[in-house]
Amino acid sequence: MNPVNSPAICLRELRKVYGDKAAVDGLNLTVERGCFFGFLGPNGAGKTTTIRMLMGTAPPTSGEIEMLGWPLPARAIEVKSRVGLVPDESLLFDQLSGAEYIEFVGRMYHLSRDLARERARELMTLFELDGAGRKLIGEYSKGMRKRVAMAAALIHRPELFLLDEPFEGVDAVGARLMKDILQEQVRHGATVFLTSHVLEVVERLCDRVAIINEGRLVIESSMADLRTGAETLEDIFVRIVGANGRTAESLEWLQ
């Protein structure tokens, strides 16, 4: 397949089993390039497991993964050099400062020392982290950790971003900055694959969404098609994954 004309992500019958439980169960999904794609589901639906398989940190039990036209794991080096990652778990080096960590990531992507240092300094300023000075990441708040992870994901100008709850713990100003940067990257041809529990954010940012439940795809659609009705994305999500009619009225003492 020609990598230039291929989808950003193509999953075929992807499955991941832990013990006797299928966390991801026969997932088929295609994400076209230049798309801001929302990947949704309730807790335990298989979102993070899917991203870990895309990262290469959780080998699939069965099925196929292609990213940017290359199969995983056979062409993992080509793929990973073109992907920027903001994981749900802030897998950062606590004993480095923010600037040191971003520079380290740049060096991992084969940027020269001078260029990695220059970009790290610029990204620290862009994400309003330059005030942290030599403060170690271990002393950062959760929102600061997310911002430094996003900065590091940008340093090599990736073609594809894998973002697992990137706005969690980030204040409104920081979240707005991150959203603006991601939208600008998409305008320049990058692809964003995003998980988030904040459905208003997904509804505002994403071109397309997929919802999984119990490891299986239950809907995949453009936001434009979903908006043809009166329902919000939250309404659609709750209807599809089911709240089982539970409300405060279920408990008499809350009335």
The per-residue pLDDT for range 11-57, each reduced to its tens digit, is 999 999 999 999 999 999 999 999 999 999 998 899 989 999 998 88
Tokens of 117: 């240092």
The domain locations on the chain are 1-82+160-173+190-243, 90-157
Whether residue 2 is predicted with pLDDT greater than 60 in this model: the reply is: no
The DSSP code sequence of 47-114 is HHHHHHHHHTSS--SEEEEEETTEEETTTHHHHHTTEEEE-SS----TTSBHHHHHHHHHHHTT--HH
Residue 177 confidence (pLDDT) = 93
Superfamily designation of domain 1-82+160-173+190-243 = P-loop containing nucleotide triphosphate hydrolases (3.40.50.300)
Residue 242 confidence (pLDDT) = 74
> What mean pLDDT value characterizes the chain?
90
Distance CA(170)–CA(174), nearest Å, equals 6
Q: Using DSSP, how many helices (H) and how many strands (E) does the chain show?
A: 9, 10
Cβ atoms of 215 and 46 closer than 8 Å: yes
| Range scoring the smallest mean pLDDT among 49-63, 185-199, 215-229 | 215-229
Contacts of 151 (CB under 8 A, 6+ apart): 98, 102, 120, 123, 124, 126, 127, 129
